Amino acid sequence: MIITFSNSVYAETESIAEEPENPEIVSEAAILMDSDTGAILYEKNAQEKMVPASLTKIATAIYAIENEELTDIVIVSESARNVVGTRVYLEAGEQVSLLKLLQGMLINSGNDAAWAIAEYTDGNIERFSEHVNEYLKEKVGVKNTHFTNPHGLYEEDHYTTAEDLALITNYAMQNETFRRIFGETELPWNGESWDTTLYTHHLMLLSQYPYEWVTGGKTGFVNEAKQTLATTASKGSLNLTAITLKADFKRDIYQDTIKMFDYGFNTYVHDVIDQNEVYQDKENKYTTNGQNIEVTVPFNNEYREELSDDGELRFFNEDGTYVQSIQLHLKPSEENISQHLKSAAPPPPEEEPSQKNWIVNSILAAGMLVMAVFGYRRIRSR
């Protein structure tokens, strides 16, 4: 059974001249997600398994940050030194802090840095892949992700989805260290064989595709994945995450990302489900269990809510596209509460004799004593 509600939680709609249209996206798969509430504001093939390329490094970074110390010193192996593709030119035997490797991996997309991180965290790439997949399922809640390496170079069984990548990015952005590195645009690099300044590959961060509210990003490319991009932006109270996958040209992933951000910031706002709000179907009442819960809703207030049999409150746009879900809690009925309180109440104490009863009992006892005395005397007189 599903109960449908109509809503009017946001009243300030007069200033919106017309409803923004969904963006036309060139990338094969894409998603725009509220970084805080997890609401899906736009999607295109977001649950399709895709090749992520270097967006894999977002997962490698947050996994290492949460499981190791940033000041740890990593000794680079020969295997790490020989990884192909984009590198920060590490040398075998070079000693580098974990923090520096993370910066080289996220800012300059160093595959050798990613390999060195994976070997340090788990000893070898196979064990790293096993552990990072478990970590992503348990911590992030991904459903269609399987990584076989830390850098994203193509392997047949290495895949994810736009939706899972957004979830991974949202989770990572809760970490201050990740958030800072993800937004860095340049970094002096003094390596054993390479002294330079690293610049981010993300062109929105470098203002080559200007966007005022961009806060971080990561690029990716391998032939099988084509162009991939992860980007975060903040404006007012909204923090958004955009993922674009498999575009033919760089300009496409950036233009798609800007279109999605513009659509999100111009269409949605935050609202709050009050802790005193009660939702009811034919049999049960549900609440937020005493908490105010933030949700993402359209400016124009044109959306609907559905309450499922198990108390999940689902939000949909007017066109029926899914936005987000909130798990509500069953509110006990007043009858159940009364029965619970009655059963939980301690038994009443035994009543103490009243003062009146004590006086009566004392008089009776005295009378019996008098009768006994006189009776005894009468017996003796005979």
Known catalytic residues are 54, 57, 109
Can you tell me which residue has the tokens 């595959």?
Answer: 111
Q: Which residues contact 46 (CB under 8 A, 6 or more apart)?
A: 29, 30, 31, 40, 161, 162, 163, 166
- Beta bridge partners of residue 285, listed in sequence order: 280, 331
**Distance in angstroms (rounded) separating the CA atoms of residues 254 and 260:** 10
- Take residue 55 and report the two structure tokens written for it: 């967006």
- Take residue 175 and report the two structure tokens written for it: 């970490």
- Take residue 294 and report the two structure tokens written for it: 């933030």
CB 40: neighbour CB atoms within 10 A?
20
**Distance in angstroms (rounded) separating the CA atoms of residues 310 and 291:** 19
Can you tell me which residue has the tokens 């009992």?
Answer: 361
Q: Which residues contact 166 (CB under 8 A, 6 or more apart)?
A: 31, 33, 46, 241, 242, 243
Residue 206 phi/psi, 5-degree rounding, is: -90, 5
**Distance in angstroms (rounded) separating the CA atoms of residues 46 and 43:** 6
